[in-house]
Structure 1
Amino acid sequence: MQRSMIRPGNHVIKSYEAYSDMLFRIAMVHLGRRQDAEEAVQDTFIKLMEKAPDFNDAEHQKAWLIRVLTNTCKTMLGRGWRKREVKLDGAEALAADGPMDLALLQLVLALPVKLKAVIHLYYYEDYSVQEISRILQISDSAVKMRLQRGRQLLKLELEGAEPE
């Protein structure tokens, strides 16, 4: 699909500078590969340029970008070739403080998509349950349940126990 030449305005450039790193980290959690994450972030900003929505404030814009990115990642994961391939190269770009953080991050990345999305937004991006609920368009109780299930799976992995 060939896109028409769209020149980014200052608002898009400022948005890119403000949010691209955060969006890349979220995409890495979903997709697990640097190239795919970069493509998802690029597609998200292309959609911002094409649609040029009006935002109430910076938080509204940030939530819109995360939602578009999440949907883009889901679409990419749904592609036939992508279903057969799961790689976690590039996880070190997300880990902040060393091998223990990298090991924990790899466990988070191994969680099912629904669980790792809320775990990442809650623990790595410091969003509240209510904010995650709005961003992912699910109920607060669904966010809490996914956090609980994700924590349980991580605990089992960290303890080396087998699930019942």
Structure 2
Amino acid sequence: MHDSSELNESVRKAVMTYSDSLIKIAFAYLKNMADAEEVAQDVFLTYLQKAPEFASDEHEKAWLIRATINKSKNMLKAGWFRSRTPIPDNLAYFPKDEYSVLQAVLSLDKKYRIPIHLHYYEGYSLEEIADILHAKPATVGTWLARGRNQLKEAIGGQAT
């Protein structure tokens, strides 16, 4: 059990270390920066409230990513989220050289978009992604291959 100063320091360190990653993961689901930031804040608030114990930094990061995915999915399921008109998002948050690739990634179906993001942006292996998404490694491999093929078509079509 953490004492409150240890817990506060753990959460502060996690915010500094993982905020950008969690926001990008949530953004890959929600396609809206304000909603992605709200999800990340909610994940850190849950961390503070539940005070989970982690065996390692990798365990902590996996827990944070799983919580981000779950909260993003819950937001997508919410009736108000589905019925609202999305505000076009400003992708200037991302480096210019990533912009066209990011647009192509965001155009993918969610089942390809999330594994692509976790693999290429977060550096997770196929087995780790399978564990995070509660899927078989072979299924994740198929999603990655199909997502890559769709990206090649989308980006390849733009190349001159």
Shift in Å at residue 77 of structure 1?
Answer: 0.9
Equivalent pairs: percent with the same residue?
40
Aligned pairs, how many? 153
Shift in Å at residue 155 of structure 1?
Answer: 2.3
Distance in 2 separating the partners of 1:87 and 1:121: 25
Cα-Cα RMSD:
2.1
The residue type paired with residue 41 of structure 1 is: A
Distance in 1 separating the partners of 2:155 and 2:37: 30
Superposition TM-score, scaled by structure 1 size? 0.84
Q: Is the 8 A contact 1:88 1:106 kept in 2?
A: no
The residue type paired with residue 13 of structure 2 is: K
1:54 aligns with 2:50: no
Distance in 2 separating the partners of 1:83 and 1:152: 29
Gaps of 5+ in 2: none
Superposition TM-score, scaled by structure 2 size? 0.86
Higher helix share goes to which structure? 2
Gaps of 5+ in 1: 1-5
Matches within 5 A, 1:32-71: 32-71=31-70
Distance change (3 Å), C-alpha of 1:87 and 1:113: farther
Once the two structures are overlaid, the 10-residue window that deviates more, 83-92 or 72-81, is 83-92
Shift in Å at residue 86 of structure 1?
Answer: 4.7
Q: Is the 8 A contact 1:32 1:87 kept in 2?
A: no
Matches within 5 A, 1:80-159: 80-84=79-83, 85-86=85-86, 89-94=89-94, 96=95, 98=96, 100-159=97-156
C-alpha distance after superposition, 1:131-163 (max 9, x if no partner): 111222211111111101111222232344xxx
Give runs of ≥4 in structure 1 deviating > 6 Å: none
